[in-house]
Structure 1
Amino acid sequence: MKLPLKGIIPPMITPLLENKELDSAGLKNLIEHLLDGGVHGIFLLGTNGEGPSLGYELRKQLITEACEIIEHRVPVLVGITDTSLEASLDIAHHAQTAGADALVVAPPFYFPLAEEEINDYFRVLAPLLPLPFLVYNIPSCTKLSLSPATVKIGKELGAIGVKDSSGDLEVLYAFIEAFKDTPDFSVIVGDELFLSDAILKGGHGSVAGGANVFPKLFVDLYEASLSNDLPGIAKIRKKILHIHDTIYSVENSPTRSIKAIKCALSILGICEDYMASPLKRLSTDKRNEIKHHLDLFEYGKSTRSII
């Protein structure tokens, strides 16, 4: 795996069957869809992957099967965040055995933690990890917004990057500024609407949920941003904003985009759209709304090429 880690790294959804088992056929379809779209890596067991809601055996099955399908064509990142150190390490070691390339670590997500407590946690966890890791800042789920100082501690312990899902542009820019003189350390943005801002400011890429459905669209935005193609950026961002205003907005819930992404993939015939409890897939009416938006979306005959 070349450093710094760059590009579009979709937080892959986890295809499930009605009985909540892994949709293995859908998994293969989805991975090939992502790779055909030109993505630069794949992130398993993140928020869009419903990682914390999946049983440990299903998580391990997903990691194993995904790594077998990907066959080192792009780097595989695996989310190992859990409420216990032992559970995180168990998934981390399985990821190494399966052939993953890196891990993604956020603070444990039950107890409210002080920053010094998470610093101590990283000092215990990092030396035990069998693979390189990224620090994951996602305060909406962990109750703690990590500072550049904490991420620097992570870097000293071996972190190769930070994934920022704070949804705060100032926080993102603070990370970029803090690590601008460390060329092998990646700053990856989680909010897909900040992709071009991150790249133009000196960041390295995005874990963009919408890239599950429209991988080429986000790859094109990344490349336009690298080349400072401002008209191209504006054109593509308009399409992504349209996705947010339509496909992501058929339901008013905090997890609406995750459900919408899975639903859209199901409509496209890529994989099933069953959700892990406590989430539920969208109703038939909402599904029909998403189908309508997909039918009207100006994205060529398929979801893989912009017109």
Structure 2
Amino acid sequence: MKLVLKGIIPPMITPLSDNGELDIEGLKRLIEHLISGGVHGIFLLGTNGEAPSLTYKLRKELITKACAYIAKRVPVLVGITDTSLEHSLEIAEHSKKAGADAVVIAPPYYFPISQNEMRDYLDGLVPHLPLPFLLYNMPGCTKLHLSIETVQYAKSLGAIGVKDSSGDLEYSHELIDVFKEDSDFAVIIGTEAFLSDTINYGGHGAIAGGANFYPKLFVDIYNASLKQDLPVITELNKKVKYIYDTIYSVGKYESRITKGTKCALSVMDICNDYMALPLRSFEDREREEIKRYIQKLNIK
């Protein structure tokens, strides 16, 4: 059966314990929190999952245990982006064995590469993939803003969709326009503030970080957008703006969104907020600030 991507797919954080190992009980609670919130899939080892900071052993353990706990209730996507093609394929093969449904590919990080080099990379990687793949445009972390032509090339190799985290709404609209005749190719937004606009324009969903702690909020926005229920969309988007203005704005470093997301889950007693170096958890003052914001928003 062909995998169709749509709806809200949280880029799940990786729950860690104070010794850097996987927080198993937190992982179970988080997965149940997401699924009970109505999400349409779960994305492991993305940016919010701190994938580049984790050992291969821990990544594999996360994939194995998450797939077992999810138990095919929703599709599982796994980020395999790495500096080494061989290690990307290693994680892809492990994902297949664990029961994942698709892998996610961004440009290899560190070296700035061209669009042509990215296409060469796909030529070397895609024929060996054991699962369908989603392309991931994340220029803030990879130094490459995928061109429309590169996305089209990936589709010609079998890509089932693209996640755009460029923050460029005009580019996202162009992606939707280019692929609107192909119902099997999903355009998924990564900037959650663009969710309702993306659905109304013809996009397919969002890989929304805030759905880690408030999955139902984003599922409700998605459903309201499908129905074009403007009053509900307007009201729910006020809550998303509040998240941006508060939980995502605590701290002075660019890592504050991932840190704020983990901290929110911690104050909600879902999982620990320990981070993998080089990131560090919020201090008590920042944690109390996050706690006040969560209490004020009061979303179940």
TM range (shorter): over 0.9
* Partner residue, 2:85: 85
Alpha-carbon offset, residue 298 of structure 1: 3.8
Q: 8 Å contact 1:104–1:133 — kept in the other structure? A: yes
Aligned pairs (5 A) from 1:75-224? 75-224=75-224
Alpha-carbon offset, residue 2 of structure 1: 5.0
* Partner residue, 1:59: 59
Which whole-Å CA distance do the structure 1 matches of 2:249 and 2:15 have between them?
A: 21
Alpha-carbon offset, residue 246 of structure 1: 1.1
Could you tell me the TM-score, scaled by structure 2's length? 0.99
Q: 8 Å contact 1:105–1:134 — kept in the other structure? A: yes
Aligned pairs (5 A) from 1:267-306? 267-299=267-299, 303=300
Alpha-carbon offset, residue 123 of structure 1: 1.1
Aligned pairs (5 A) from 1:223-302? 223-299=223-299
- Structure 2 residue ranges without an equivalent (≥5): none
Q: 1:256-286 CA distances to partner (integer Å, 9 max, x unpaired)?
A: 0110110111111100000000000000000
Alpha-carbon offset, residue 4 of structure 1: 3.0
Which whole-Å CA distance do the structure 1 matches of 2:17 and 2:3 have between them?
A: 36
Q: 1:231-251 CA distances to partner (integer Å, 9 max, x unpaired)?
A: 111100001100111111121
Which whole-Å CA distance do the structure 2 matches of 1:298 and 1:14 have between them?
A: 24
Root-mean-square deviation (Å):
0.8
Q: 1:197-252 CA distances to partner (integer Å, 9 max, x unpaired)?
A: 11001000000000000000000000001111111111000011001111111212
Q: 8 Å contact 1:29–1:271 — kept in the other structure? A: yes
Q: 1:154-203 CA distances to partner (integer Å, 9 max, x unpaired)?
A: 11111100000001101111111110011100000001001011100100
Which whole-Å CA distance do the structure 2 matches of 1:24 and 1:208 have between them?
A: 23
Which whole-Å CA distance do the structure 1 matches of 2:222 and 2:251 have between them?
A: 28
Partner letter of residue 272 of structure 2?
A: E
Which whole-Å CA distance do the structure 2 matches of 1:216 and 1:252 have between them?
A: 28
Q: 1:99-122 CA distances to partner (integer Å, 9 max, x unpaired)?
A: 000000001001110110101111
SS of residue paired to 1:81: coil
- Structure 1 residue ranges without an equivalent (≥5): none
What percent identity do the matched residue pairs reach? Answer: 62
SS of residue paired to 2:103: strand
Tell me, yes or no, if structure 1 residue 19 matches structure 2 residue 27.
Answer: no
Which whole-Å CA distance do the structure 2 matches of 1:40 and 1:186 have between them?
A: 13
Alpha-carbon offset, residue 3 of structure 1: 4.2
Could you tell me the TM-score, scaled by structure 1's length? 0.96
Q: 8 Å contact 1:4–1:183 — kept in the other structure? A: no
Q: 8 Å contact 1:266–1:273 — kept in the other structure? A: yes
Q: 1:22-78 CA distances to partner (integer Å, 9 max, x unpaired)?
A: 000000000000000000000000000001110000000000000000000000000
Q: 8 Å contact 1:3–1:185 — kept in the other structure? A: no
SS of residue paired to 2:124: helix
Partner letter of residue 165 of structure 2?
A: S
Partner letter of residue 229 of structure 2?
A: D
Which whole-Å CA distance do the structure 2 matches of 1:226 and 1:203 have between them?
A: 10
SS of residue paired to 1:40: coil
SS of residue paired to 1:159: coil
Which whole-Å CA distance do the structure 1 matches of 2:131 and 2:148 have between them?
A: 22
Which whole-Å CA distance do the structure 2 matches of 1:170 and 1:13 have between them?
A: 28
Instruction: Identify the range of structure 1 (219-228 vs 249-258) with the bigger mean alpha-carbon deviation.
Output: 249-258
Q: How many pairs align?
A: 300
SS of residue paired to 1:287: helix
